[in-house]
Amino acid sequence: MLICPICRGDLHKVDNGVACPANHRFDRARQGYLNLLPVQHKNSRDPGDNQAMVEARRRFLDGGHYAPLAERLAQLAAERSPARWLDIGCGEGYYTAQLAHALPDAEGYALDISREAVKRACKRAPQLEWLVASMARVPLADASCNLLASVFSPLDWTEARRLLAPGGGLLRMGPTREHLWELRGLLYDEIRDYDDEKHLSLIPEGMSLAHSETLSYELQLNDAQARADLLAMTPHGWRASAERRAKVIDAPLRVRVAIRYDWIQRDQ
């Protein structure tokens, strides 16, 4: 199932880690995850979200603000009954843990390029195989997954198609143009619009959209820490001016949550 990120050979267990026939070895961290991100595949010393960003997301999500989103994601995954699944870009593991709970009999994997994120994520569901790895070079075998989950995460569509078994699918969860509309209005002079279906033009040959739905609700944030964490876990936290970010943190906020779910299936 696992393959070497350097030579693509099969990985097998050795001592406290894994190795391939070419003797590329990778140790398992004391927290339980495998680091399958070779230094030559990094674009910085510590790629991905840093500790402050990971902690902000953990606090906000553990506060239950996005609980309806995670519940629907888990329901949609359970309806597909995959034998093996992978969460691509798992972050600090909030949504991954919901998937693991909904799929107790399935073989589960999760990866992120951020070591800080995976270090915390693996505590949420120790039964999964947690990986620090690149989404552009996923260290799993061809056609090995029945379900891929991509939650608020960039996606390499070629890799997604490679990983999916025939009949399997990608469960993509991402924002619509209405998502956090009021927050964006406070941060910018002009709210930049975008096409909710733009990603559909990226679907590669051999995959097709089989189901789509949107979940939306109003979220009241009376706690300043929750507002600060929301800013920190979105691109708006560094795009907007410090003055406007401070105004958001200083006053209660009612904001719209609007998320689209797509099931994009690999053809038989």
Which superfamily is assigned to 12-266 in CATH? Answer: Vaccinia Virus protein VP39 (3.40.50.150)
Model pLDDT, residue 236: 81
Per-chain mean pLDDT for the chain: 93
Q: Which residues contact 234 (CB under 8 A, 6 or more apart)?
A: 180
Instruction: Please give the annotated binding residues for Zn(2+), written as ranges.
Output: 4, 7, 20, 24
pLDDT digits over 232-247, tens only? Answer: 988 887 888 999 999 9
Instruction: Please give the annotated binding residues for S-adenosyl-L-methionine, written as ranges.
Output: 66, 92-93, 179
Model pLDDT, residue 207: 97
Instruction: Please give the annotated binding residues, written as ranges.
Output: 4, 7, 20, 24, 66, 92-93, 179
Which span out of 42-46, 146-150, 188-192 was modeled with the highest average pLDDT?
Answer: 146-150
Domain boundaries, the chain: 12-266
Whether 40 has a pLDDT exceeding 70, the answer reads no
Model pLDDT, residue 41: 53
Model pLDDT, residue 169: 98
pTM for the model stands at 0.94
Q: Which residues contact 140 (CB under 8 A, 6 or more apart)?
A: 1, 2, 3, 86, 109, 163
Model pLDDT, residue 51: 81
pLDDT digits over 104-142, tens only? Answer: 999 999 999 999 999 999 999 999 999 999 999 999 999
Task: Tell me how far apart the alpha carbons of residues 145 and 164 are, in angstroms, rounded to a whole number.
Answer: 5
Which structure tokens are listed for 264?
A: 């994009």
Model pLDDT, residue 129: 98
Whether 16 has a pLDDT exceeding 70, the answer reads yes
